[in-house]
Amino acid sequence: MPPTLYNSLFMAGHEVRWFKELESTNDYIVNLARDSDTEVDRDRLAGLVVVSDYQSKGRGRMDREWLAPPGRCLLMSILVPATTIPDNPFLIVSAVSLAVVEACMETVSLHVDIAWPNDLYVGGKKLGGILTEIVGGLPYLVVGIGLNVTWPAIAGDGVIEGASAASDQLEGESTLHSTNTATSILLESEELVDRRYLLERILVWMDRHLEEATMPNGIADLLKEYRERCITVGKCVSVSLVGGRVVEGTAIAIDSNGRLNVESGSGVEVFSSGDVRIIR
């Protein structure tokens, strides 16, 4: 049975489809783009935003299971044409990461840091993150955001048995969250923020960054701002790769392509993806 649309609206120039429950917002958009019969149909979907109060098959990096209580997090995905910033999907993700950071500052004056590639932290506790998927064979990127809004809300409210917590929807560190590692906008700001308003501000900032990136020196400016917000460089990190290889060393730079440069005992290695844990 197809999911029932809870609300359909336009917000900050984007079509927004809001569901009570989906298996995965990313999967919904990926399947929609793949099933479109023509390029014209797919172009009409560009900029589509899908939100769900609950995901029954939410997943994180490397397909780890992810669950969170209904209505407590902002769970969303956006279909972005890869041509928005050609040849470098990381820059699109950077724009989205910065948009979340700025929306949190604007709505509740909350200072949010980015851990490479796109995890979101407040005071060393994980607030959320981003999962990016390329629609196979098509020039589109699906960018998913998972942001803890009102969960966890109190001490002891930070773990769902058998699954990672809300901020593990997306790329980056993926431990089982406890009250020592996960946080929320409510917990950090002591303010309730409306998820629709937060969504609108994220979209406004995202579009602004994507447009600015097309200007002269725009990409350099985007990377500069990302680096200023990123807490990974200068830290001792552990990078876990597909296949089980783990590299430990010091993160020394984020290059012009958004890749993390890590100096280990065997020299400098460059990573475009991976599960990154800050050791110290």
Residue 28 is inside which H or E element, if any? helix 25-35
Mean pLDDT of the 3-10 span:
88
Is pLDDT above 60 for 127?
yes
Domain chopping of the chain, boundaries = 5-212, 232-278
HSE at residue 244, side-chain half, CA atoms within 13 A, is 0
Among candidate residues 13, 272, 49, the one with its CA nearest the CA of residue 143: 49
Per CATH, 5-212 and 232-278 having the same topology is answered no
What confidence score (pLDDT) does residue 62 get? 45
Q: Is 166 helix (H, G, I), strand (E, B) or coil?
A: helix
Beta partners for 236?
250
Beta partners for 8?
17
What span, in angstroms and rounded, lies between the C-alpha atoms of 125 and 121? 5
What span, in angstroms and rounded, lies between the C-alpha atoms of 18 and 16? 6
What confidence score (pLDDT) does residue 121 get? 96
pLDDT digit string, tens, across residues 32-54: 999 988 888 888 999 999 999 99
Token digits of residue 256: 């012009």
CA dihedral 33, 19, 101, 242 (to 10 degrees): -50
Whether CATH 3.40.50.620 fits 5-212:
no
- Kindly report the backbone phi and psi dihedral angles of residue 139, in degrees, each rounded to the nearest multiple of 5, phi listed first: -85, 55
For residue 117, cis peptide bond before it (omega within 30 degrees of 0): yes
Q: Give the percent of the chain with pLDDT over 70.
A: 86
Q: Please count the other Cβ atoms lying within 10 Å of the Cβ belonging to residue 57.
A: 11
Token digits of residue 224: 């500069």
pLDDT digit string, tens, across residues 62-106: 455 556 789 999 999 999 999 888 888 999 999 999 999 999 999
| DSSP per-residue string spanning 52-100 | ES-BTTEE-GGG-EE---TTSEEEEEEEEEGGGSTT-HHHHHHHHHHHH
Mean pLDDT of the 162-191 span:
57
User: Which of 20-24, 82-86, 95-99, 185-189 is the least confident region?
Assistant: 82-86
What confidence score (pLDDT) does residue 165 get? 34
Assign residue 269 a region (left: φ > 0; alpha: ψ between -120 and 50; beta: otherwise).
Answer: beta
HSE at residue 170, side-chain half, CA atoms within 13 A, is 33
124 contacts 133 by C-beta, under 8 angstroms: no
CATH architecture for segment(s) 232-278? Roll (2.30)
What confidence score (pLDDT) does residue 120 get? 96
Is the pTM of the predicted complex or chain greater than 0.85?
yes
What span, in angstroms and rounded, lies between the C-alpha atoms of 204 and 224? 20
